[in-house]
Chains A and B, each alone.
Chain A
Amino acid sequence: MQDAATTISAREAPGHSPGRAASRLRSIWRNIFPFIVVGVLWEIVAVSGIFPARLFPTIETVAGTFFALTANGILPHHAIETLIRLLSGFALAGVFGVTIGILMGRSRLAEDIFLPLVSICAPIPGLAYTPLFLLWFGLGSFSSILLVGFVSAFPIIFNSWTGVKAVKEIWVRSAHSMGADDRRMFTHVILPGALPYILTGLRLGLAQAWRVLVAVEMLAAVPWGLGWLIFGARKFLNTDAMLAGIVVIALIGLLLEKLVFQKIENYTVVRWGMVAA
């Protein structure tokens, strides 16, 4: 009965143990161990021949394909095209989403205008719009960027709106009584106050953009892109290329999460003490 309590307190402890290097090595090993287990299981299944090797390649084959495709520049090209689409779509969503969200939070009129439209469009899964966008804006990069922007704008709008509304009334009033004008009020009170929410919205939006983009690339017949790589490889039964593509997608997703957003959060809201790290 005690162990739940002890696991919680034990979690804070590691790092203080005497052998720093040894404990770091152990934690690296602990993180790698599950992957080794899964890798060995995969290898056993692949080598045993239960499934045809074309459909279930060994890890060496996948790794070989991965390096071959990276070396001849195909994989990086796909990845860069995908990233460009992701960033342009996300930039669109960020600019429009934050603007609309803040407007909705600040003015009752804007709220009344946008809220019904947003709440009708938001619950429809982003991918369901894909065929419509393809018909309206044609196949290719343009409609995929537009769709990614459209879909990822919703979490950004919702969170910015909530954030502006969640700014403590007392901060607003005290800034007022200390003689802040509208502009200072906005840049010094409302914006920093709403920032944790806005960042959360951007983070959710980026995650959503990433998920939708991979699928859209499969459907929108773009010439380059990781989604297309996976989808195209299926036609030729290149399971190894598909798995290599999936690995790249996982890596990019992980990097976006760990490097981009956790860093931004640490630099801003955590440092200001607005959320626990």
Chain B
Amino acid sequence: MTDTIITSTPKTGASKGSASMSDQSKSRRSLWRAAVVLIIAACCYEAAARSGYFAPALMPKLSLVAQTFVAMLLDGTMIEHSVFTLYRVMFGFLLAVLVGLPIGILMARFAAVEGFFLPLVSALMPIPSFALVPLFMLWFGIGNLTTILIVFYAATFPMMFNTWSGVRSVNPLWLRAAGAMGADENALFWKVIIPGASPFIITGLRQAFLRAWIAVVGAEMIAASDWGLGWVIFDAKEFLNTDVMLAALVVIGGIGFVFEKMVFGSLEKATIQRWGMSRVAKG
């Protein structure tokens, strides 16, 4: 039920810089500044790490983190951890889409379905998925099944909610127009309702994946089972391998970034933005 405006980056904004500068040189300057800021941040971290004020086990040097990262990539452990995590997140996400999408559509199309599911969904939605991890561990044991189910739980609701509001918000005028032009149920559904709801559905996919990605890391930490990026971070804590933790953190951030910006971002650009349908969805 929270509106999502996070991802909508302002394009036309208050331009406070000198007005004479062209947009391009301004964005180049921003890029330059971003690089400088990151370098300064890295230097600060490095200085703190080398100062010896903090224990080196807790604050490893960047070179050490990089070394660990490369070593783990080369001997394949990091890749195996990522593959396990990706398998769990994809499996749970697909399940969530398979369940959330039809239920969302049915909820919007039939008042009876909506009347039945809406109270349940609004009661279940505020339960954070992590609260269920200990329960699921008792029920399903430690391992893939529990993690996948937690991911499924986390991702279903945004999917369902966005689909529901998408189908509901299809312009009634289009429906009537299509009906007047003699579209039957089937054509109406595939040619009008689904395309009309697709901006919301895509937003739902994106939010669902984001939730799934967060859930998988947490579930792996608690319901651990030898492989997985969440597990490796938590396991490294026990042995004070801060370098391993930071390396895994980089991988988690990287994969999340790739999916969020490249996969869903470009999906959105190719569809919603090109159709000029960008809207704020609820979810």
Contacts and interface: CB of A to CB of B under 8 A. Distances in A.
A35 B120 contact: yes
A48 to B, nearest CB: 16
B253 A243 contact: no
B119 A128 contact: no
B242 interface: yes
16 contacts: A2-B175, A35-B119, A38-B120, A106-B14, A113-B33, A113-B37, A117-B37, A117-B38, A132-B245, A135-B58, A135-B240, A136-B58, A169-B14, A218-B133, A254-B122, A256-B126
A215 B215 CA distance: 10
B214 A112 contact: no
Interface of B: 1-6, 8-10, 12-17, 29-30, 33-35, 37-38, 41, 58-59, 108-111, 115-117, 119-120, 122-135, 137-139, 167-168, 170, 172, 175-176, 178-179, 183-185, 188, 193, 213-214, 217-218, 221-222, 229-230, 233-234, 236-237, 240, 242, 245-246, 248-249, 252-253, 256-257, 260
A243 B233 contact: no
Contacts of B6: 155, 158-159, 162, 201, 204
B120 to A, nearest CB: 5
Contacts, number: 230
Interface in A35-63: 35, 37-38, 51, 55-56
B130 A105 contact: no
B33 A112 contact: yes
B33 A123 contact: no
A129 B214 CA distance: 11
Contact of A127 (B119, B137, B138, B214): B214
Contacts of B29: 112
Interface residues of A, number: 88
A116 interface: yes
